[in-house]
Amino acid sequence: MNSRFLASCIVLLCLCSLPSFSQSSNDNLRDQALKVFIDCSRCDIDYIRREMPYVNYVRDWKEAQVHVLVTRQSTGSGGIEYKISLIGQKEFTGIDSEVVFTSTPDETSDLIRQGYTRMMAMGLMQYIAKTPLAGYFDFKFDNEGAGIKEEKIVEDKWKSWVFDIRTSGELEEQESYSSLVSENDVEAEKVTPEWRIYFGGSYDESIRKYRYDDQEYISERTSYSIRHLLVNSLSDHWSLGGRAGISSSTYGNVRFSASLAPAIEYNIFPYDLSNRKQVKFQYRVGYGYAFYQDTTIYNVIEQGLYSQQLSVGADFRQPWGNINISAQASNYLHDWSKNSLRMWAGFYFRVFKGLSISLSGDAAFIHDQLSLPREGATPEEILLRQKQMATNYDYSVKLGLSYTFGSIYNNVVNPRFNERY
């Protein structure tokens, strides 16, 4: 009896899983709706589908009539600027536009998704107007809410300054392990078209205890830093600025250090295109003085040195994918053999319909570890990563592939049983 009941349930589930071939009178209208591909890694796609049910959401950008590419940048106030690029394809090729939504730092995630979805819908109207669904739209302007008749003067008592204070603590306890971590940060930043001014400070502390075979091993780390950045916009391509700071790190064997480094930067593309493409070159030269906790491998307890650094970075985001490449070379001027070269790269390509490939990695050639302690480290300090160790290199690589197939449409939102199997 139980086996028959179980078999009946399985058959019923299978039958319910079969696609329905019944058609409503509006199916033909749905077929003529605009085909849209949403290219946004941090958008609430389910919310967008619910709020804009009048388009067909396709999962392959080559099938779309409009490719909606959303990029994000932080604003000086601590909010996020969403640039929504609408790229026409097929019969809309050459009809491109861009709309922008900017959130404020105090807005909730719900208000933010309402904002960028509303702007996305407004941008799509020029394409929807050329489809049969255009006759089903009506528009209304909230004159009272906008206060369009009132003359208002906006005064900023903070003079564009934004302050951010963060603190966190974590306690973890097991029979053989315990950990106490504290992280504290304070930041102040002012961003205008002409200037970027930043001050930041942090203090971090961690105490980890390991108990094994009636012995206890303790790893303690503390660090603090005070940072300052000043940048002036010289033109659409050039910027002039500098960095200054003081810091301390028990892990890095630095009791106290101070540095000052002026810099200049050139962007091949105008800065207002930075959300889609940028190729930047930055050069800086500076002076730093350090007091070490223990005598270093070069038999010094304190020293002042000049150094220089050249950075190159390229970032492109297009309908076919993303590319991000950067490299940074630096050396001490008193001895050019004390140098380092660091490189980062990330690629994401939509190879063809349904197939995407991602590859990212970083590598460094390190010859400038001047603060390493002369006495080295004990086996316990090495295993607990309590002291920095000498190395000539480090690298990491990550490769990913994905392939999807089936129906090109993805309009329905159904969050039931949303767990991954």
Predicted confidence (pLDDT) per residue in 389-402, tens digit: 678 888 899 988 87
Question: Above 70 in pLDDT, residue 380?
Answer: no
Query: pLDDT band for position 22 (50/70/90)?
Result: very low
Under 8 Å between Cβ of 257 and 288: yes
Phi–psi pair at 154, nearest 5 degrees: -90, 120
Listed residue (105, 126, 117) closest to 34, CA to CA: 126
Residue 370: is its pLDDT beyond 70?
yes
pLDDT for residue 208 is more than 80: yes
Q: What is the pLDDT of residue 234?
A: 92
Q: Which two tokens stand for residue 190?
A: 């002012």
- Residue 47, pLDDT above cutoff 60: yes
Per-residue pLDDT, 16: 47
302 pLDDT exceeds 70? yes
- Measure the CA–CA gap between 249 and 225, rounded to whole angstroms: 9
Please give the order of strands across the beta sheet that includes 66-74.
56-57, 35-39, 66-74, 80-88, 97-102
pLDDT of 221 > 50? The answer is yes
The predicted pLDDT at position 406 comes to 62
193-202 mean pLDDT: 91
The model's pLDDT over 251-268, given as tens digits with 9 standing for 90+, comes to: 889 999 999 999 999 999
Kindly give, in sequence order, each residue whose CB lies less than 8 Å from that of residue 309, ignoring residues fewer than 6 positions away.
261, 282, 283, 284, 285, 328, 329, 330
N-to-C CA span, the chain? 29
3 state DSSP class of 337? strand
